[in-house]
Amino acid sequence: MSTVKIQNVNFHNNSMGEFIDIFDNRIQEQEKTFVVTANPELVSLANKDPKYYRTLNHADFVLADGIGVVIASKIINEPLKERVAGFDIMGELLKKAEKENLKVFLLGAKDTTIEKAYVNIQKKHPNLNIVGKQHGYIDINDEEIVNKMVELEPDLIFVGLGFPKQEFWIEKHIDKFKKGLFMGVGGSFDVWAG
């Protein structure tokens, strides 16, 4: 799969539609997947913090979430196809999940925010199977929460803890799960909560 290196981070060069097909396929195959949606601030942190940089290298896909990243790719003459915003890709994956009866878990944001986001997501996708939700003010080492999540066997895990916490959380716990696509979604639950 083709990638473009921007400030030491390898971005996957696919359109939104292509990513959705790739991810859907991997979910169907129960192939575990770690997705990072990276904006320029995230790239900047990766260049300052070697630990975070190593974490990003464990991701299966890094998506260009920000026009700044796309512009940078044009400047180096290796243009990325398009900006793929985390919020938008989450929306597309929720549509797929509703159609294919995939199990969804929502992790992140404040307690009241995730409750509102849950209600609004369920309103928009009445047949969506949200198997669980958890606010994001947790210790990244909290095993009790992870164990409960593992038992639910989710297919799609949206992790909105902000960066770098969300990527550290995914890297730390992904191996405990049998399957699932794990995606850092930043402040997306706040948007869903309205």
Instruction: Supply the minimum distance, in Å, between the C-beta of residue 144 and ligand UDP.
Output: 17
Kindly report the length of the chain: 194
Instruction: Give yes or no for residue 162 binding ligand UDP (CB under 6 A).
Output: yes
Is the torsion defined by CA of 129, 84, 167, 190 positive or negative?
negative
Instruction: Supply the minimum distance, in Å, between the C-beta of residue 132 and ligand UDP.
Output: 15
* Residue (154 or 164) nearer to ligand UDP, CB: 164
Q: Give, as ranges, the residues between 58 and 117 that touch ligand UDP (CB under 6 A).
A: 108-110
Dist. CA 36–CA 171, nearest whole Å:
11
Instruction: Give yes or no for residue 187 binding ligand UDP (CB under 6 A).
Output: yes
* Residue (96 or 165) nearer to ligand UDP, CB: 165
Answer for which of 19, 105, 189, 192 binds ligand UDP (CB under 6 A) is: 189
CA 152 to mean position of chain CA atoms: 18
- State the maximum Cα–Cα separation within the chain, in Å, rounded to a whole number: 47
Rounded alpha-carbon distances, angstroms, from residue 85 to 17, 24, 139, 146, 177 = 12, 17, 27, 27, 26
Instruction: Supply the minimum distance, in Å, between the C-beta of residue 184 and ligand UDP.
Output: 7
Answer for which of 66, 154, 180, 186 binds ligand UDP (CB under 6 A) is: 186
Instruction: Give yes or no for residue 165 binding ligand UDP (CB under 6 A).
Output: yes
Is the torsion defined by CA of 24, 114, 57, 80 positive or negative?
positive
Dist. CA 18–CA 3, nearest whole Å:
14
Q: Which residues bind ligand UDP (CB under 6 A)?
A: 108-110, 136-137, 160-163, 165, 186-187, 189-190
